A and B are shown apart, each in its own frame.
Chain A
Amino acid sequence: MSSKNTPILGGRPHAFTPILDAANQVILGKPAEVRLAAACLLAGGHLLIEDLPGLGKTTLAHTLARLLGLQFARVQFTADLLPADITGVSIFDREHGSFRFIPGPVFSQLLLADEINRATPKTQSALLEAMEEGQVSIEGETRALPSPFFVIATQNPADQIGTFPLPESQLDRFLMRIELGYPGRDAERALLAAGSRRQASDQLASLLTPEQLPQLQAEVAALHVSPALIDYVQALIEATRNHAGFRHGLSPRAGLALLSAARAWAWLAGRDMVLPDDVQAVFAPVARHRLHGAQGGTLASRAEIDALLATVAIP
């Protein structure tokens, strides 16, 4: 990004500065991804991490949950997972002679849905509806999910046998999609020397009170966006729609997602306004999983996204 020393604008410290520092102590060599995950959380969206197993997806989720003081739950998605396994069931209580609701893992503040593409579409959509609505309807009763409610879902792209890839409409529910990738040489070495990071994350203390996060989210949502910046976002969206390489352009919902993600990114940079840099920084994670190649199937490539950013003039 901008400069290594003092930035030209912003750089004001905020509540997330210590959180990001602590997270980077645990997840080594992935500051950009950690920051994106934090931005996604601040923007009130959900995160999809697509990568091979063992790259630290769970550690990331766990670390964030610990640092932010969020109640954490994890569901391993399998082909025989039923919707009720996520949302919860009512069982008959003999002592009281009535049904008692046992909440499922969805009733937590940070839910890690591991390998979401292994479950059947019916189960997938039960989770995704909960993500969208912020509530679940079980046996005719509507129950509100806790707030904040943040889902980190993971997908394994390599092993496609026996999976149910998320349809485009479901992918749209995720604000961002990121890849963690292999750690860098130095980071890997540090990792090997220090041993598994899970213990490290377990020892983390909460740096935020439960009431603080919604306040910060409200602060982010109110960050100033100038007409010129909206022009830029609009130009980007229009460019995806007129791009021969994409099957469809970005939807208006994607445009709103782009703006809220950019706001969160600008807030993390300690600025009180959104710059085109913020839009560019979050554009690939926000847009890539919503754009598909013209041939069908594959997601837009990183190179295509970068080329788009380089050609669309900043108005």
Chain B
Amino acid sequence: MKRSQPDPLSREQTPWLFAAALVTTLPHTLQQPWWLSALGGLLFAWAFLLWREDRRLPGRWILLALVVAGIAAILADFRTLLGREAGVATLVLFMAMKLLELRSRRDATVIVMLGYFLLLTHYFHSQDIPTGLWLLFALWVVTAALVRLQAATMPPRENLFQAGSLLAQALPFMLVLYLLFPRINGPLWGLPADAFTGQTGLSDSMAPGNIANLVRSGEIAFRVRFDEALPARQQLYWRGPVLESFDGRTWRQSTRPANPERIEELGPRIAYEMTLEAHGQRWLLALDAPVTLPAGANLDGRLSALAPRPVEKRQRLRLSSSPAYRLNTAESPLSLSDNLRLPANNNPQTRELARNWQAQANDPAEVIALALRHFREEPFHYTLQPPLLGRDGIDDFLFRTRRGFCEHYAAAFVVLMRNAGIPARVVTGYQGGELNPRDGYLVVRQSEAHAWAEVWLEQRGWIRVDPTAAVAPERIERGIVDALPAGEPLPAFLLRHGDWLHDLRHRWEALNNAWNQHILGYDTQRQRDLLSRLGFAVDWRQLVIALGLACALILALVTAWSLRQRIRPAPEIRLWHRAQRRIGIHCAPGETPLAFAARLRAADPALAARFDPVVRHFMLARYAPDNPNSLAALAAAVKRLPRRRIA
């Protein structure tokens, strides 16, 4: 059944639709599988060539075959058509295919609507400033394509201007909806199960190389603003998961039920606000040792703060910690035996060494000191590129390679301690942070990820021991860049290419932080604060009323403005009036310009001679066939008039 196309698309409209399709799908190439980008690019190039050569679009059987092939490829890659990634991929594919089916205005409308929808899907991946800017630009282009559908022959500049002015008119509504639309904690709609894939952060296990990989990421883990002064760098241990069970290679969290911690605070508390990026786990990464937690959060029995649910969006938390503390001076025997357990027949050399130290030393503290001295005095190296380790990884590391990252030192130290009969465990988290002088926030990145050890001593409880500090004290004192030896291939973001680049980076991150804090972080609480400051009681009904009122007000203002534009006289009339004001003589209501000129000639021939060009150009601009230059000529003629007032 062949239907005629009721509303065919003109040649001039198509490039705008190409542009709309391009700007809405282009950023997805960063996320989607390469083959989809390649296929989309091919389809796009094909559609463009057909348009340029003015050739027939492919028939429906070819399109059908392409759709089936594309969907099969998506199914093969994602194993589903639903969900976030597969759904977006399907839409991108459809967008590219639709370009080969651009026959009528209906098809064009599909492109535009699909474009608007695809714009939204970009926010799955990123909500940062560049994304926002790009999407604004894309919104403009898509809207211009929509305008183009209505006016096929409009000059392109006029077209873009129209689209811009449409968006500008929508801006007040956008602001009002942003500020007043009731905020709901959590996503508004159920998001697909894979909505939060690809977040970086600590994991609940540690094998050699895990943290070293994390360090290569420049992503920000969290930002902190201290109520008072920034604590000393050596105190900045941000505590993540505590790993207690070791299988010879990988460290994991223990499944032993938790006992509540008993913390004795030995010094003043430090209060701070943390903006935690989403990482898909429950750890809150509080500063050691957390004493007050946000509502709903709790400690896991190993002094790590846990959120009630995995952190799947950016959160702002208020916390306080006590850097000087004593933890669990009386520890349960179950916990102590857990923290002494080692896999059987593993790392014999390490066991030998530890036993030697145990025999030499009078008490556990001396064993610790011996171990740290060993790390300090033997030729150990701190590096992001440790050699591979064999089956007895700790033996290999301690006696053969002696090159490692924090995770190697922490693991080796804990194994040594356990062999010497001292309960010990690995703690992972972050250490340090970089103060952004622009906004006073301490920025902690994935590159600050760290692993250290804790040992339990009689009467002193759990004590933090950081063997990395023994090998590379700079890591703790100044940060990772200074700790790594020169020539180490560092990720580019860590290098400090002179001051201005560093400063630029600080500025950019401060801007991003402001964006996160104020724009993205505008949540129920902030909305409530804002509204109560404006004098609204906080009630969703009133919120809806306020929203309605604000929208009505904006609508009224926009209408009034456009009415004013309509009754505002045409430009040539305004110039004509200006000319009359300039000479101080005015035209009567029913007096024609020529009659006015004649009256002027009778009254003041000299002035009339100078006024005649104005009359001439006014009549040309107003009554002659359209001429783009006539307005300019009139304006020039008015400008040449003498300024004179006739009493």
Distance, CA A310 to CA B593, complexed state (A):
13
Give A133 Cβ to nearest chain B Cβ, in Å.
34
Cβ B590 vs Cβ A2 within 8 A: no
Cβ B594 vs Cβ A2 within 8 A: yes
Residues of B within 8 A of A224 (CB): 623-625
Cβ B594 vs Cβ A314 within 8 A: no
Residues of B within 8 A of A274 (CB): 623
Residues of A within 8 A of B625 (CB): 224, 226, 272-273
Distance, CA A45 to CA B592, complexed state (A):
26
The contact string, 1 if C-beta is below 8 Å from chain B, for chain A 273-290, is 111110010000000000
Cβ B623 vs Cβ A8 within 8 A: no
Residues of B within 8 A of A229 (CB): 623
Residues of A within 8 A of B619 (CB): 8-9, 273, 275
Residues of B within 8 A of A275 (CB): 592-594, 619, 623
Cβ B624 vs Cβ A272 within 8 A: yes
The contact string, 1 if C-beta is below 8 Å from chain A, for chain B 303-330, is 0000000000000000000000000000
**With A3-B598, A224-B625 as contacts: A9 and B592 at CB distance below 8 Å:** no
Cβ A228 vs Cβ B589 within 8 A: no
Cβ B592 vs Cβ A280 within 8 A: yes
**With A3-B601, A8-B616, A312-B589 as contacts: A277 and B594 at CB distance below 8 Å:** yes
Residues of B within 8 A of A158 (CB): none
Give A28 Cβ to nearest chain B Cβ, in Å.
25
Cβ A2 vs Cβ B616 within 8 A: no
Asked if B620 is an interface residue, CB under 8 A from chain A, the answer is yes
Give A141 Cβ to nearest chain B Cβ, in Å.
45
Distance, CA A273 to CA B594, complexed state (A):
14
Give B197 Cβ to nearest chain A Cβ, in Å.
60
Distance, CA A12 to CA B57, complexed state (A):
54
Distance, CA A312 to CA B592, complexed state (A):
11
Asked if A169 is an interface residue, CB under 8 A from chain B, the answer is no
Asked if B258 is an interface residue, CB under 8 A from chain A, the answer is no
Distance, CA A224 to CA B619, complexed state (A):
13
The contact string, 1 if C-beta is below 8 Å from chain A, for chain B 597-626, is 110010000000000100110011011110
Give A4 Cβ to nearest chain B Cβ, in Å.
9
Cβ A309 vs Cβ B590 within 8 A: yes
Cβ B594 vs Cβ A8 within 8 A: yes
Residues of B within 8 A of A228 (CB): 570, 622-623
Residues of B within 8 A of A3 (CB): 597-598, 601
Residues of B within 8 A of A303 (CB): none
B229-286, CB < 8 A from A: none
Residues of B within 8 A of A7 (CB): 594
A1-17, CB < 8 A from B: 1-3, 7-9
Chain B residues touching A, range = 20 to 34
Residues of B within 8 A of A1 (CB): 594, 598
Asked if B591 is an interface residue, CB under 8 A from chain A, the answer is yes
Cβ B590 vs Cβ A310 within 8 A: yes
Residues of A within 8 A of B589 (CB): 310-314
Residues of A within 8 A of B592 (CB): 275-277, 280, 314
Asked if B588 is an interface residue, CB under 8 A from chain A, the answer is yes
Give B155 Cβ to nearest chain A Cβ, in Å.
20
Residues of A within 8 A of B616 (CB): 8-9
Cβ B598 vs Cβ A2 within 8 A: yes
Distance, CA A10 to CA B479, complexed state (A):
85
Cβ A273 vs Cβ B624 within 8 A: yes
Asked if B151 is an interface residue, CB under 8 A from chain A, the answer is no
Give A128 Cβ to nearest chain B Cβ, in Å.
33
Asked if B595 is an interface residue, CB under 8 A from chain A, the answer is yes
Cβ A313 vs Cβ B590 within 8 A: yes
Most A C-beta atoms less than 10 A away, residue of B590, B591, B616, B620:
B590
Question: Closest residue of chain A to B601, judged by CB?
Answer: A3
Distance, CA A8 to CA B595, complexed state (A):
11
Cβ B590 vs Cβ A311 within 8 A: yes
Give A55 Cβ to nearest chain B Cβ, in Å.
29
Cβ B590 vs Cβ A277 within 8 A: no
**With A3-B598, A3-B601, A229-B623 as contacts: A8 and B590 at CB distance below 8 Å:** no
Give A8 Cβ to nearest chain B Cβ, in Å.
5
Give A281 Cβ to nearest chain B Cβ, in Å.
10
Cβ A226 vs Cβ B623 within 8 A: yes
**With A276-B592, A314-B589, A314-B592 as contacts: A2 and B623 at CB distance below 8 Å:** no
Q: Given A8, A272, A280, which contacts B615 in the complex, CB threshold below 8 Å? A: A8
Most B C-beta atoms less than 10 A away, residue of A224, A280, A314:
A314
Distance, CA A276 to CA B594, complexed state (A):
9
Distance, CA A214 to CA B121, complexed state (A):
67
Question: Closest residue of chain A to B588, judged by CB?
Answer: A310
Distance, CA A311 to CA B597, complexed state (A):
18
* Subset of 29 A-B contacts with CB under 8 Å: A1-B594, A2-B597, A3-B597, A3-B598, A8-B594, A8-B612, A9-B594, A9-B616, A9-B620, A224-B624, A226-B622, A228-B570, A228-B622, A272-B624, A272-B625, A273-B619, A273-B624, A273-B625, A275-B623, A276-B592, A276-B623, A277-B592, A277-B594, A280-B592, A310-B590, A311-B589, A312-B590, A313-B590, A314-B589
Given contacts A2-B595, A229-B623, A310-B591, 15 further A-B pairs with CB under 8 A are A2-B594, A2-B597, A3-B598, A7-B594, A9-B620, A224-B623, A228-B622, A273-B623, A275-B592, A275-B619, A276-B623, A277-B595, A310-B589, A312-B589, A314-B591
Which A residues fall within an 8 A CB radius of B?
A: 1-3, 7-9, 224, 226, 228-229, 272-277, 280, 309-314
The 8 nearest A-B residue pairs measured at CB: A313-B589, A310-B590, A276-B592, A2-B594, A277-B592, A273-B624, A226-B623, A273-B623
